[in-house]
């Protein structure tokens, strides 16, 4: 298991193939290594890898059959008026000129995400998102479809991040432009799967990185 940092792509960047990427860095230490799933470049959190071909086949099957459970924590703008919600909207990748995933009832593939309001943070909210399918940008699209775009999501929202002035409106000038969270407010919090050798359940959690934890602290204590 790995707690992936934000800003590091899982696989090589097609536009910058020479740039560091997670699998390349891991293979310098752990050989061989098989990729089972991936996280977006700006998303932090827990990831699983296989160390042999048999484990790779087993874990791939668990993901394909939806036997592996993933939970994400998402920081969004706005506060839902619901405690829980299941979003069942079919999604189609590369569906517009910006190459975004779009909701498409006719040509989209089934996509289901369970949402739970974890914390009301004034003008923001912390939401638990448990996807039952693995569509590209699924959580981001399903949240945006409900009117709650992630902090820092320039693709499905209009947010450049969370700044000091967003929490303290009186913070003007250079101080107000201080970025508290300058990337996507999405963290892969936990992963539950079965050990490929003995089928025993394994549960992994990834602590929040400093920027995500700092954003929550500022929002929880806006006067501090």
Burial annotation 51-62 (CB, 10 A radius, 16+ → b, else e):
eeeebbebbbeb
In words, the CATH class of domain 66-220 is alpha beta
**CA torsion angle 77 79 84 85 (round to 10):** -60
Q: What is the pLDDT of residues 133-150, one digit of tens each?
A: 999 999 999 999 999 999
pLDDT in tens, 112-171: 999 999 999 999 999 999 999 999 999 999 999 999 999 999 999 987 899 988 887 666
List, for residues 11-69, the tens digit of each pLDDT value: 998 778 889 999 999 999 998 999 999 999 999 999 999 999 999 999 999 999 999 99
- Which of 8-17, 35-44, 105-114, 188-197 comes out lowest in average pLDDT? 8-17
User: Quick check: 176 pLDDT over 60?
Assistant: no
Global pTM reads 0.93
- Residues marked active site are found at 40
Sorting pLDDT into bands at 50, 70 and 90, what band is 175? low
Please tell me the predicted confidence (pLDDT) of residue 208.
Answer: 98
Is the CB of residue 111 less than 8 Å from the CB of residue 142? yes
Ranges 154-158, 173-177, 203-207: which has the least confidence: 173-177
Query: Which residues does 213 contact at the CB level (< 8 Å), separation at least 6?
Result: none
Cβ partners under 8 Å of residue 81, min gap 6: none
């Amino acid at each position: 298991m790995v707690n992936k940092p934000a800003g590091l792509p899982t696989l090589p960047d097609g536009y910058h193939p020479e740039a560091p990427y997670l699998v390349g860095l891991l293979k310098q230490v752990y050989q061989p290594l098989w990729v089972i799933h991936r996280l977006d470049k700006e998303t932090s959190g827990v990831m699983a890898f296989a160390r042999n071909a048999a484990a790779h086949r087993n874990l791939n099957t668990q993901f394909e059959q939806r036997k592996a459970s993933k939970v994400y924590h998402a920081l969004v703008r706005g506060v839902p008026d619901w405690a829980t919600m299941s979003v069942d909207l079919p999604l189609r990748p590369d569906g517009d000129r910006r190459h975004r995933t779009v909701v498409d009832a006719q040509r989209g593939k089934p996509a289901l995400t369970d949402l739970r309001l974890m914390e009301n943070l004034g003008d923001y909210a912390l939401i638990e998102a448990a996807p039952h399918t693995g569509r590209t940008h699924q959580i981001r699209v399903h949240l945006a479809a409900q009117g709650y775009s992630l902090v820092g999501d320039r693709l499905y929202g209009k947010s450049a991040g969370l700044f000091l002035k967003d929490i303290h409106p009186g913070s003007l000038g250079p101080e107000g432009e201080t970025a508290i969270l300058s990337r996507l407010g999405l963290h892969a919090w936990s992963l539950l799967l079965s050990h490929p050798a003995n089928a025993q359940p394994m549960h992994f959690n990834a602590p929040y990185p400093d920027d995500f934890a700092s954003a929550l602290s500022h929002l929880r204590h806006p006067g501090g």
